[in-house]
């Protein structure tokens, strides 16, 4: 029997008719476990309105809020938002300072929403290199939400996919230091040492504003993720656009290197035959 999420799901604010139509199409049991988002296009959004770039970032925090609250209410296990990459330090200092300040404001302002929705926060990246005030606020946000049992919200901050792999390798080496024989590194051991340890791999990667790149985001974890790229700029990526991405995800056939169910060998339907 198929369940629709319509009856039990309460969006905040309540779903508009167009959103309800999209919700009706979603199957609760086949939602992604982990959604990862490259929030791109804030600068262009501002430029189109003859506003300073930072106005686009500020508007982007509202989209971060609606995306977070909607994913939590859909019972998605984890949401990761790419807020600041290790490469973003190349931007003018006024913009990086603004982004750090905006993050601090965001954490303070969104805390009631995070608590209300039972959301636990994590931060992915070289957070020890961030300004001290930001580090303090990050620590507070983790502590304040540590008892929550619902969705895990990960903010990727001073994050780089290659840096993460290097950090994981160094953590493994540090653990093995002093031990007589070295254990070989396996996919499992590397996964355990990534910033995302304990989380399912993202099964849906959303990128707004149309660029066909993964931009050094979760390189290890997105091996089998479905990629959804939309021309919509991040500040315009409203709840209906998010629901459309989820509907599209459910249309994709996920094979993980195997073959589709209809073509599987009856005696060994799980056998992997190619890339």
Cα–Cα dist 191/214, whole Å: 19
203 is catalytic: no
Region class of 225: left (phi > 0), else alpha (psi between -120 and 50), else beta: beta
> What span, in angstroms and rounded, lies between the C-alpha atoms of 80 and 67?
10
Q: How far is the CB of 140 from ligand FPP (least distance, A)?
A: 15
Determine if 125 is a binding residue for ligand FPP (CB under 6 A): no
Residues in contact with ligand FPP, counted by CB under 6 A, come to a total of 20
Binding flags for ligand FPP, 90-109, as an x/- string (CB under 6 A): ---------x--xx--x---
Residue whose beta carbon is closest to ligand FPP = 43
Q: Min. distance of Cβ 60 from ligand FPP in angstroms?
A: 3
Q: Which tokens belong to 239?
A: 């709840």
Cα distance between residue 115 and residue 119, in whole Å: 6
- Is-catalytic flag, 216? no
Q: Which residue has the tokens 């982990």?
A: 34
Residue closest to 122 by CA, chosen among 88, 147, 156, 150: 156
What is the closest distance, in whole angstroms, from the C-beta atom of residue 41 to ligand FPP in the complex? 4
List the interface residues with ligand FPP, window 189-208 (CB under 6 A).
Answer: none
DSSP 254-272: P-TTS--GGGS-TT-TT--
Q: What whole-number distance in Å separates Cα of residue 68 and Cα of residue 81?
A: 9
Tokens of 28: 């609760």
Residues 130-149 that bind ligand FPP (CB under 6 A): none
With CB under 6 A as the contact rule, the residue among 15, 26, 64, 86 that binds ligand FPP is 64
- Per-residue binding string, ligand FPP, 33-62, x by CB under 6 A, is ------xxxxxx------------x--xx-
> Which CA distances in Å does 10 have to 14, 44, 73, 155, 247?
7, 33, 7, 25, 18
Among 20, 66, 75, 88, binds ligand FPP (CB under 6 A): 88
Which one of the listed residues 40, 137, 201, 203 is annotated catalytic? Answer: 40
Return the bridge partners of 120, or none: 152
Query: Which residues sit at the interface with ligand FPP, rule CB under 6 A?
Result: 39-44, 57, 60-61, 64, 81, 83, 88, 99, 102-103, 106, 155, 209, 234
Residues annotated as catalytic are 40, 88
């Amino acid at each position: 029997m198929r369940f629709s999420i319509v009856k039990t799901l309460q969006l905040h604010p309540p779903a508009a008719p167009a959103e309800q139509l999209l919700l009706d199409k979603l199957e609760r049991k086949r939602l992604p476990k982990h959604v990862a988002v490259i929030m791109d296009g804030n600068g262009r959004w501002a430029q189109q309105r003859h506003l300073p770039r930072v106005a686009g970032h500020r508007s982007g925090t509202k989209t971060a809020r609606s995306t977070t609250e909607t994913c939590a209410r859909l019972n998605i296990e984890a949401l990761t938002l790419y807020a600041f990459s290790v490469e973003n330090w190349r931007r003018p200092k006024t913009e990086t300072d603004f982004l750090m300040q905006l993050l601090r404001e965001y954490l303070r302002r969104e805390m009631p929403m995070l608590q209300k929705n039972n959301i636990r926060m994590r931060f992915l990246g070289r957070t020890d290199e961030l300004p001290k005030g930001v580090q303090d606020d990050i620590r507070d946000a983790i502590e304040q939400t540590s008892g929550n049992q619902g969705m895990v919200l990960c903010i990727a901050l001073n994050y780089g996919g290659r840096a993460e792999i290097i950090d994981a390798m160094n953590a493994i080496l540090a653990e093995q230091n002093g031990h007589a024989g070295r254990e070989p590194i396996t996919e499992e051991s590397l996964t355990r040492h990534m910033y995302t340890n304990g989380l399912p791999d993202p099964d849906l990667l959303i990128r707004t504003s149309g660029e066909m790149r993964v931009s050094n985001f979760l390189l290890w974890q997105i091996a089998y993720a479905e990629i959804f790229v939309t021309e919509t700029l991040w500040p315009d990526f409203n709840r209906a656009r998010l629901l459309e991405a989820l509907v599209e995800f459910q249309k994709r056939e996920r094979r993980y290197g195997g073959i589709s169910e209809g073509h599987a060998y009856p005696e060994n339907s799980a056998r992997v035959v190619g890339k």
